[in-house]
């Protein structure tokens, strides 16, 4: 190294630039990291909010489905009393029981209608359609019951068919509701 002198000022200037470059790199890395953390936290919050919305919707649907099924069962308990009518030997007793069934059926159909509307609001479409049809069949069965006098009329066969169809459709509704609530 003959003829070259060591310039310490240049080294000092160079180390200053290295320090500045290191600081800028650290700030940039910190900014990128904080931005990544912020985005990660935002995504995590969005996922958590979506998960809660899905769980809440599922809970509302479950409650609506349970309520409709419970109201259908309550109506069925009224309609099952036709067995008591069949076991009665007195026309007056049969007429009285049918009259009681008609009054109780009116109230029960009203509750089925309200519960079915809750299912219509909560969906999904296939379950809502099953609920709509179940309500229609409940009303139809009720209307046939209203036309009976003592349970032995010629309309009894129509009532029996309507009642069986109503019960079968309740089972189809339960299957559709169960499928809608399945976790996939």
Quick: pLDDT tens for 124-164.
999 999 999 999 999 999 999 999 988 788 889 999 999 99
Domain count for the chain: 1
Q: Is residue 18 part of a domain?
A: no
Q: What 3-state DSSP class applies to 183?
A: coil
Q: Is residue 26 part of a domain?
A: no
Q: Using an 8 Å Cβ cutoff, are 88 and 114 in contact? A: no
**Phi, psi of 117, deg, nearest 5:** -70, -35
State which residues form the domain around 89.
Answer: 57-181
Higher pLDDT, 137 or 7: 137
Q: Is residue 125 part of a domain?
A: yes
Those residues whose C-beta lies under 8 Å from the C-beta of residue 69, and which sit 6 or more positions away, are 170, 173, 174, 177
Q: Is residue 137 part of a domain?
A: yes
Q: Is residue 10 part of a domain?
A: no
- The mean pLDDT of the chain is 88
Pull the structure tokens for residue 78: 């009224």
- 180 DSSP 8-state letter: H
Q: Is the pLDDT of residue 79 over 90?
A: yes
The CATH code of the domain that includes 90 is 1.20.120
Q: Which of 81, 164, 48, 173 is nearest to 120 (CA)?
A: 173
pLDDT of residue 10: 53
Q: Is the pLDDT of residue 102 over 80?
A: yes
pLDDT (average), residues 43-55: 82
């Amino acid at each position: 190294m003959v003829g070259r002198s060591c310039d310490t000022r240049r080294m000092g200037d160079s180390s200053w630039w290295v320090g500045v470059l290191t600081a800028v790199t650290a700030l940039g890395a910190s900014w990128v990291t904080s931005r990544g953390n912020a985005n990660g936290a935002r995504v995590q919050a969005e996922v958590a909010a979506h998960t809660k919305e899905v769980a809440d919707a599922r809970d509302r649907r479950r409650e609506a489905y349970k309520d409709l099924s419970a109201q259908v069962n309550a109506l069925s308990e009224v309609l099952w009393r036709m067995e008591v009518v069949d076991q009665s030997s007195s026309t007056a007793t049969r007429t009285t029981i049918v009259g009681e069934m008609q009054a109780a059926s009116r109230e029960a159909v009203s509750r089925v209608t309200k519960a079915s509307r809750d299912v219509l609001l909560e969906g999904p479409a296939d379950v809502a359609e099953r609920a709509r049809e179940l309500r229609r069949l409940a009303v139809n069965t009720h209307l046939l019951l209203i036309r009976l006098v003592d349970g032995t009329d010629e309309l009894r066969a129509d009532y029996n068919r309507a009642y069986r169809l109503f019960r079968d459709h309740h089972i189809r509704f339960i299957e559709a509701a169960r499928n809608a609530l399945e976790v996939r």
